[in-house]
């Protein structure tokens, strides 16, 4: 099979992403990968070393193609609230398109977290940490511009927004459709507004 | 092994919970279960039918021992905000105790959701739906008592609170420790306060 010698690494990793995303790391066999990637087992080992190494490559590429691309697009949105709103729109769109059933490979892996090696955990933690940093940076910028109240704790709110994104991704795999996911987005936007303590009836 | 004839079904299911919780459904083998439960493979099949049936039993018992027990305890807390606050405390405690590494069996299964049969998905959806219903009921009660502002949409806010619980559970498996999880809880409590639109600088 002479074409094999020059198989496209990027395409091969894309195929591996599909398999890992649909089945999870544990349940994916080398036979599944060989089958979907259309290359010989020997070529796979030569090119990627092992199932775990291939998984890391797949996870890094998935992260680059999805999270990094989404966050980069939002760099051009000046208004902080609009940028955070658009991020949730993007996550909802990703959660309700054809790949909905599969969820998010990063979140799926985060749940498998303790079962993974340190280097896989680092990829996941970096991706989630970048989301959190995005939120924190945008809240602070919004506070400087006066569109987000200064009373809000940027550090804490960024963590809540990250939890909402992650929770949204998990619930989208279950019974939550687009309108329910938008309710979660509304909660995220409310966290960017002033918190007023209620006055209990005496 | 005469003791086998009368092995305690509840104890056996508890052992199965441990295995499924640590490894996930897919990665758990019958050998793992037989080994941990200390019964013969034949006895296991006789008592539970199959790995999938045993998983359902385990999931139902886990749900009863954890979520249902936690929610039942909170029925006695009259104040709505206090009840929701205590629920988050309970979830944080569960996320940071010895079982932290394993996360929540229900949330783990929710992420595997599309790969499961309809009856497993129903168990998960019911459990998550009960959480959501708890939040909604408590918000409405709090609104009647004047401790939660009437301007809040109980239906939508309940979904955001559910997403925060789920997100908190996922992030607790990663790099989030107790103080970060408490920041998420603060976000939840802020969703129970009045939302004031910011006035942008012109």
Whether B15 is in a domain gets the answer no
What does the block give as tokens for B124?
């998960």
Query: Are the beta carbons of A160 and B187 separated by less than 8 Å?
Result: yes
> What is the arithmetic mean of pLDDT over A142-147?
95
* ipTM greater than 0.90: no
Counting the structural domains of chain B, the total is: 1
A196 forms beta bridges with: B194
Nearest CB to A167 within list B129, B153, B166: B166
Whether A196 is in a domain gets the answer no
Whether B155 is in a domain gets the answer yes
Residue A104's H or E segment, with its range, is: none
Nearest CB to B183 within list A160, A176, A199: A160
Whether B16 is in a domain gets the answer no
Whether A195 is in a domain gets the answer no
Q: ∠ at Cα B154 (A110, B111), nearest 5°?
A: 20
Query: Are the beta carbons of A163 and B159 separated by less than 8 Å?
Result: no
Mutate to test the interface with A, among B100, B174, B200, B201 (most CBs of A within 10 A): B174
Query: Are the beta carbons of B195 and A200 separated by less than 8 Å?
Result: no
pLDDT of residue B2: 43
Q: Residue B80's closest chain A neighbor by CA?
A: A200
| DSSP annotation of B147 | S
Taking contacts as CB-CB distances below 8 angstroms, the residues of chain B near A103 are: 111, 114
Range of the domain at B132: 62-190
Whether B172 is in a domain gets the answer yes
* 3-state SS, residue A85: helix
| CATH code, B144 | 1.10.357.10
Whether B104 is in a domain gets the answer yes
Digit-coded pLDDT (tens) for B8-27: 888 999 999 999 988 888 88
pLDDT of residue B101: 66
Global pTM reads: 0.89
Whether B25 is in a domain gets the answer no
The owner of tokens 């299911």 is B13
């Amino acid at each position: 099979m002479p074409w094999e010698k020059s198989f496209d690494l990027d395409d091969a990793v894309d195929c591996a992403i599909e398999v890992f995303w649909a089945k999870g790391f544990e349940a994916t066999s080398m036979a599944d990968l060989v089958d979907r990637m259309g290359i010989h087992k020997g070529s796979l080992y030569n090119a990627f070393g092992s199932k775990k190494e291939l998984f890391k490559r797949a996870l890094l590429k998935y992260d680059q193609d999805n999270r990094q691309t989404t966050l980069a697009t939002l760099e051009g949105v000046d208004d902080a609230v609009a940028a955070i709103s658009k991020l949730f729109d993007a996550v909802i769109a990703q959660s309700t398109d054809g790949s909905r059933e599969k969820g998010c490979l990063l979140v799926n892996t985060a749940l498998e977290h303790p079962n993974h090696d340190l280097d896989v955990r680092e990829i996941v933690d970096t991706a989630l940490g970048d989301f959190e940093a995005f939120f924190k940076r945008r809240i602070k910028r919004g506070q400087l511009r006066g569109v987000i109240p200064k009373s809000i704790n940027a550090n804490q709110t960024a963590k809540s927004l990250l939890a909402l994104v992650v929770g949204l991704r998990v619930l989208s795999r279950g019974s939550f459709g687009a309108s329910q996911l938008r309710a979660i987005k509304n909660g995220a936007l409310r966290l960017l507004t002033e918190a007023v303590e209620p006055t209990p009836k005496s």
